[in-house]
Amino acid sequence: MELGSRDAFARMGTLGIEEEFYVVDADGRPTSGIDDLVYGRDPPAEVPEGFDHELFKCTIEAQTELIEDPSNAADALSTVREALVDHAAADGYRIAAAGLHPAAKWRELEHAEKPRYRAQLDRIQYPQHRNTTAGLHVHVGVDDADKAVWIANRLRWHCPILLALSANSPFWNGFDTGLASARAKIFENLPNTGVPSAFDDFDAFNAFERRMVETDSISDRGELWFDVRPHTGHGTVEVRAPDAQRDPAVTLAMVEYVHALVVDYAERYADGESAPTLRRELLDENKWRAIRHGHDASFVARDGEETVPLGEVVADECDRLGISGIRDVYEAESGAERQRRLREESGLDALCEDLVLSP
């Protein structure tokens, strides 16, 4: 039974970026039968660990190596993306990105045959069978286990902000859901997802993780799919809230924001700042607002008394943390708005083409 330990939390401020993509055919439609792409050839030299299926054969994950210096994030991301696009092209496939692919119909697509995913399908059934989602996960190293849990508790308020900014999945199974991020709602139907409860310290989180494995609620710690969690293997705080993105600039803006938040909260932890008391139900309400409204969302403030529009949150956070990427994302057309506009103006074919990563 593989469980983490305090010893994993040894480095502060390192980065890791995981992106989930869709493998598509020449017409930009999700495809099956891609085992050779993942298992049939050696991985490219730039990504020695290779790529792996997600739940469906048409979904694939690419991750950067450990990024020591956050200023190298753009280069690291570009290296992995270009390697994946080239690797897929060798077998005649293309790579597309969105929180949900607008042409993906889960009943018509093959699930991966990896034993881990087969076990999940057997245990979870319908919610996992239809889980055609693709997300962005950001890891930031933290040098103390209790600090990591403390930071993860506080990042819960920020996860709906990240989701609203990244909302990029209005279409699911061929229809317009009316949501900005249908991915988040579909994924939330799985167990052990959404905004987690706060944990008192690392011992409390570790005991929970151990209990979930020992009671066969999950097969391994990776099946705690919360929007934010301490990763007890990598020694990071992992944020899993955003939709996947075609535009690397949006991905990098999310990465910049998450990294700045973790570093800021690490400094506050050292100062002994007291914990906020916003109820989890209000955090859930904020997530719903992000799912439904995207860039047009407003949120219950951290004091639980007022609501604050996303634009005001973005302005305050950029000024407070000295960042700019999320301001650019907010001021631009959102991913959900862009998808709806392209489908309305030019049709599904044009939308599918727009989601394909450039070679």
Residue 126 class from Cβ within 10 Å (0-12 exposed, 13-18 middle, 19+ buried)?
A: exposed
The residue assigned the tokens 């993906």 is: 104
More confident of the two residues 106 and 41: 106
**Which of 35-39, 112-116, 171-175 has maximum average pLDDT?**
171-175
As a whole number, mean pLDDT of residues 33-37 equals 70
| pLDDT score of 2 | 62
What are the residues facing 194 on neighbouring strands? 226
| pLDDT score of 237 | 98
Coil, strand, or helix at residue 91? Answer: coil
Domain ranges of the chain: 6-354
As a whole number, mean pLDDT of residues 65-78 equals 96
Question: Cβ atoms within 10 A of the Cβ of 130, count?
Answer: 17
Instruction: State how far the Cα of 32 lies from the Cα of 40, in Å rounded to an integer.
Output: 15
pLDDT category at 33 given cuts 50, 70, 90 is low
Q: Is residue 38 over pLDDT 80? A: no
Q: Two tokens at 260? A: 């700045």
Instruction: State how far the Cα of 41 lies from the Cα of 33, in Å rounded to an integer.
Output: 14
Amino acid identity for residue 158 in this structure: H
Instruction: State how far the Cα of 79 lies from the Cα of 68, in Å rounded to an integer.
Output: 15
As a whole number, mean pLDDT of residues 234-253 equals 98
In CATH terms, 6-354 corresponds, of 3.40.50.1100, 3.30.590.20, 3.20.110.10, 3.40.50.2300, to: 3.30.590.20
Q: Is residue 71 over pLDDT 70? A: yes
pLDDT tens, position by position, 158-192 = 999 999 999 999 999 989 999 999 999 999 999 99
Which residue in 76, 129, 28 sits closest to 347, CA to CA? Answer: 28
| pLDDT score of 221 | 86
As a whole number, mean pLDDT of residues 33-62 equals 80
pLDDT category at 16 given cuts 50, 70, 90 is very high
Q: What percent of the chain has pLDDT over 90?
A: 77
Residue-averaged pLDDT of the chain: 93
Contact 138, 254 (CB under 8 A): yes
Report if pTM > 0.85.
yes
As a whole number, mean pLDDT of residues 67-87 equals 96
More confident of the two residues 27 and 126: 27
CB hemisphere CA count around 262 (13 angstroms): 30
Longest CA span, the chain: 56
